[in-house]
Chains A and B, each alone.
Chain A
């Protein structure tokens, strides 16, 4: 009984409508970002957009605020207490992981400056929107789980994974083939393939993680009160999206083509 009480303490679960609103805003911002890039390519405007989007994702989708709601003194063995500890662990992990991407990000600007690899713009926006939509569904899955709506959760996760796989196909299957340069061709090759590669690897792990969660959902291993597995997988998925929010402009939008 401790559990459900402490759950309700961490605020009533957010509604699906909120998730949808956030999604719309993100979509609009992405469109604006793209337009910016096309018409007047000012890097700090793009950076600003990315930070804005990142902030939204981190707050509403990854609900970072839950970290600070962890109640202090209560039974160490209770589910709620362990849940809070696990959240902390997950966030530390993502913080640490973030430094890898940060390093790649820095390297990109050190090596390419304000030029960008010559890649397919259309494909770029497509995969980006695919990932964006996927994280909307990921959020939907988590929220419906909190409301105890298991089937909706399963359905949403299936969509999420499909979109995730689509993203992989888009980047590894198509972009890597049609790109006019290979990993060995100049720094742009090195940077482009390493950044997309490292990110794609994380997407892959995310997909695996999510499919495990689905399997256990189907087997009814999670409940409205106890579904850390779902939450973790979803938050991790948002983290991957969060990274891409910065990689996308860095690889596709910021700067001019080298000539």
Chain B
């Protein structure tokens, strides 16, 4: 009996210790969506469950190891106990109930995350190697950053241009694979104004690691302002339009405009500069060279970079006027 008593104390103690330890270091990232709430509650329950089960087993284990260890020069065998049916039934049935309860909770919180708001704003998400595009059918333009009004459910209708990608924003707690050839949808209700990152969570090839875009959650008013700005720039100054396209087609993923080297060469001071190619030859980056590099990147490979990294597809996805706009933008970085 003495044993049991001590162990009970220890188990309770270590359960609380572990739980406080875990919850104090802050296990989860900031919570920024309505869907996250029920999910985090479940995580809360799990920290308790895990703390308890772990303590239960490990405490009894360590306790026995100490108390029942074979002392110096001690001989003989352990107690001959073969089992106890009631006990065994108990430790089958209790966990059984426990896991069913957990599964029930899981189903419930899944239901919460799937709740549909008919007035949700639709955003079409197009993923590709290795870029994100977000189109706003209600307003008829696209963007490279995902701007969302706070407190309003958005229905992301996602499809992929090539392989499987995955939409993942830790602060939203949600993840959904994006399949080629069909549209899967994911509903998020951002609750906290701020800027986050959407990163691709499904290995999708060489630059999977860099397939990241900004998610900007803003107030209703700011969202409207942003929309009007987008609509305006599309018509005016080509350079601005170029900037928009560059964001939309994810060039910015690989090309910096501040001289820093990303996956691709920077565009700062690129225009009219002389570029050294992999084969050593020098060329001046005039309109022709740049549009070539966009339409057929492998034609000339910049020194220090590898071919087949930059997508070959922009020739089809971009039309002449758009390419001109991009060139105009690159020129503006001169």
Asked whether the complex places CB atoms of A and B closer than 8 A, the reply is: no
Interface on B for A, CB 8 Å cutoff? none
Interface on A for B, CB 8 Å cutoff? none
